[in-house]
């Protein structure tokens, strides 16, 4: 997409991507071809349209269904309507502009017979908005913009907070920074941001929270390794590991290396950074190099340590296990619509396997930190309790930061779960 890309061009490209996501493809993979091409402003507009539409997916689906008098439209036209409805409600463009550009986008998508239909449906929404809003209030998926099974699980798990959790999942994510104290002090770095007109505030530890997100290229000292982008909730992991210099530490699911880097910033340890995905593992070393850090990077399956382990036990293990990612859906808005309730059973089984395999690698007296970015107890407390019941040498400890195991997403951080387990001799 060129710098001069019109809203019609942006809507057409967003519709193509959203249509493929609706068919089961990953949003990140669909956006990847545009990652290095085009102008930053055009890519930012595309990200806003795709992410914004998918955050409101339950709502825009319901609106199109409500107004489609002649049945469900062609999949690509339907995706264009979803994106157009988000553009209308975003307030970034005049209403008549969105309608006109959406009609042009239908032509760009070679859906010329649908141009009149697109025009009529969008104008009908503008005319009937108050009536439609009243109807959407009675439909859970449209109101809360999450799948119904997801809503029910959160309502059962967090009776007093479930609506706030869902609202957070639909919001724009905050941009958190982690200051590398090996290169600079947090107060000093915050002062540099202020001098460049970038507003930020402390958020515990080495974390700063930007008032407004911005490209990493605008962060002073980024290339020099003075700072990294990392959610403040993710920064809890390294602090909760109770690190000490000289320890052998394993980050068992390390890519792309954010938590591994934080571990090395906090303590002089011998770190092994492991990941099962070779392409993702390849990102770890360059990220560490930028920060002036080094680790042994391995590609391997943490559930099969016989394939890569050297037989020497670790004093600390970070088990940042694969999960539903329900705590970070505002960053990956397609996740909530691609997941199924049955996926939680498969995740829990995989999590148990990883815990059991990694436990064998932990030295007596060592500690393992179980971590997920999930909000569902089925992947968190349930997994931990089952493991501890079945493993006589495991004892759950209080977290070193004194905070609860489960952090729910809010304006400052995403949702994460941490549990520290000690291995008795």
Whole-structure pTM value: 0.90
- Domain assignments of the chain as residue spans, ordered by start: 7-145, 176-229, 236-423
Q: Which CATH number fits domain 176-229: 3.30.390.50, 3.30.70.1170, 3.55.30.10, 1.10.1240.10?
A: 3.30.70.1170
384: nearest Cα among 399, 364, 369: 369
Q: How far is CA 349 from the centre of its chain?
A: 22
Residue 365, helix vs strand vs coil: strand
Q: Report long-range pairs for 383-388 (Cβ below 8 Å, ≥24 apart).
A: 383/348, 383/351, 383/352, 383/355, 384/419, 384/421, 386/352, 387/352, 387/355, 387/356, 387/421, 388/421
CB distance 330 to 358 below 8 Å: no
Cβ–Cβ under 8 Å, residues 273 and 284: yes
CATH class of 236-423: alpha beta
The answer to whether 265 touches 207, Cβ cutoff 8 Å, is no
Given a cut of 70, the residues of the chain with pLDDT beneath it are 1-5, 33-41
**Is the four-CA dihedral 336, 341, 344, 346 of positive or negative sign?**
negative
Q: Is the dihedral of CA 286, 238, 339, 386 positive or negative?
A: positive
Query: Is the distance from CB of 405 to CB of 380 less than 8 angstroms?
Result: yes
CB 375 within 8 A of CB 326: yes
Q: Which of 68, 62, 74 is nearest to 15 (CA)?
A: 74
User: What is the separation of C-alpha 91 from the centre of its chain, rounded to a whole number of angstroms?
Assistant: 25
What pLDDT is stored for residue 5 in this prediction? Answer: 67
Residue 271 is predicted with a pLDDT of: 98
Catalytic residue check, 373: yes
pLDDT for the residue 32: 79
Instruction: Single out the catalytic residue among 83, 203, 323, 373.
Output: 373
Contacts of 251 (CB under 8 A, 6+ apart): 259, 260, 263, 271, 272, 273, 274, 295, 318, 320
In angstroms, rounded to a whole number, what is the distance separating the alpha carbons of residues 320 and 364?
Answer: 21
CB atoms within 10 A of CB 71: 6
Please give the CATH architecture assigned to the domain spanning 7-145.
Orthogonal Bundle (1.10)
**Spatial CA neighbour of 263 closest among 254, 183, 222:** 254
pLDDT score of 205: 87
The answer to whether 7-145 and 176-229 have equal CATH topology is: no
d(CA 96, CA 111): 20
In the numeric block, the tokens 């052998």 are attached to 248
Give the pLDDT of residue 1: 37
Dihedral, CA of residue 139, residue 145, residue 150 and residue 151, to nearest 10: -50
CA–CA distance, 317 with 345 (Å, rounded to integer): 24
User: What span, in angstroms and rounded, lies between the C-alpha atoms of 263 and 282?
Assistant: 18
């Amino acid at each position: 997409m060129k710098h001069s890309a019109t809203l019609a061009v942006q809507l057409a490209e967003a519709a193509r991507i959203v249509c493929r996501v609706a068919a089961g493809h990953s949003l990140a993979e669909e956006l990847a071809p545009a990652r290095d091409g085009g102008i930053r402003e055009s890519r930012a507009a595309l990200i806003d349209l795709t992410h914004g539409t998918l955050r409101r997916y339950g709502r825009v689906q319901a609106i199109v269904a409500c107004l489609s008098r002649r049945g469900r439209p062609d999949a690509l036209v339907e995706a264009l309507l979803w994106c157009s409805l988000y553009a209308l409600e975003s307030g970034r463009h005049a209403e008549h502009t969105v309608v006109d550009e959406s009609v042009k986008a239908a032509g760009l998508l070679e859906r010329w017979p649908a141009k009149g239909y697109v025009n009529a449906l969008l104008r009908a929404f503008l005319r009937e908005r108050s009536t439609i809003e009243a109807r959407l209030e009675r439909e859970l998926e449209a109101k809360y913009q999450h799948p119904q099974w997801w809503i029910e699980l959160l309502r059962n798990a967090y009776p007093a907070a479930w609506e706030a959790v869902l609202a957070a999942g639909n919001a724009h994510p905050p941009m958190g920074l982690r200051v590398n104290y090996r290169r600079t002090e947090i107060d000093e770095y915050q002062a540099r941001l202020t001098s460049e007109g970038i507003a930020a505030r402390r958020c515990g530890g080495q974390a700063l929270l930007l008032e407004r997100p911005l490209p990493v290229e605008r962060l002073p000292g980024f290339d020099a390794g003075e700072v990294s982008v990392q959610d403040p909730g993710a920064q809890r992991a390294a602090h909760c590991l109770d690190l000490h210099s000289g320890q052998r530490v394993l980050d068992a699911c390390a890519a792309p290396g954010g938590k591994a880097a934080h571990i090395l910033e906090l303590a002089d340890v011998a770190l092994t950074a492991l990941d099962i995905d070779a392409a993702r593992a390849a990102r770890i070393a360059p990220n560490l190099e930028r920060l002036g850090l080094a680790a042994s990077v391995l590609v391997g399956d943490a559930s099969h340590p016989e394939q890569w382990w050297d037989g020497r036990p670790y004093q600390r293990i970070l088990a940042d296990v694969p999960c539903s990612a329900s705590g970070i859906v505002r960053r990956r808005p397609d996740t909530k619509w691609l997941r199924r309730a049955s996926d939680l059973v498969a995740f829990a089984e995989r999590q148990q396997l990883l815990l059991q395999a990694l436990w064998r690698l932990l030295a007596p007296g060592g500690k393992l930190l179980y971590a997920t970015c999930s909000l569902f107890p089925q992947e968190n407390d349930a997994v931990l309790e089952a493991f501890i019941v079945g493993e006589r040498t495991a004892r759950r400890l209080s977290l070193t930061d004194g905070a609860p195991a489960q952090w729910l997403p809010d304006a400052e951080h995403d949702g994460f779960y941490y549990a520290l387990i000690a291995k008795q001799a």
